[in-house]
Amino acid sequence: MTTSEHALPQGRTLRVWFVFARERLARFPLSLIQLGMRIGVGMVFFSAGLLKYNSFEFAVKLFEDEYKVPLLDPAVAARLAMFNELTFPVLLFLGLATRFATLPLLGMISVIQIFVYPQAWTDHVLWGSILLFLLTRGPGALSLDHLIERHFARR
């Protein structure tokens, strides 16, 4: 037999390679992806919170002049935003009360999208999608939530 008789047709080889590649990629641990999501979206908010903390007067000025969030005094809105941005991302980093921690951040994204920067919807869709994934699927195996769930499952 010649080598051409052993060769698969070109279309079949491509299909086999594609299936093999897809199966190999599917083996990548979802828990690492979830950890990356938690850290990535958490850093966006945490960095914003640090900026507000380091220059609170400037943050209040931004809420007065640019953000103009309705129904809230600019100082109260700045404090509330700073609290959310410094508290809930830490919970995401640790994977502690992760599903709960996504809710205030999703609320902030909604307020920012509707009242402050409606043109920044691409960022908000990205951050919101990550937070919705974490809300619905959880933080993954590399989290304190997972350890707590395992502890209570043994009882």
Q: Tell me: the pLDDT tens digits for 61-87?
A: 999 999 988 899 999 999 999 999 999
Task: Tell whether the model's pLDDT for residue 55 goes beyond 90.
Answer: yes
Distance CA 2, CA 136 (A): 55
pLDDT (0 to 100) of residue 108: 97
pLDDT (0 to 100) of residue 43: 98
Nearest 10 degrees: CA dihedral of 93, 97, 98, 103?
A: -120
End-to-end CA separation in angstroms for the chain? 64
pLDDT (0 to 100) of residue 77: 96
Distance CA 12, CA 30 (A): 30
DSSP 143: S
Per-residue pLDDT tens for 3-33?
555 554 566 799 999 999 999 999 999 999 9
Q: Which of 8-12, 57-61, 150-154 has the lowest mean pLDDT?
A: 8-12
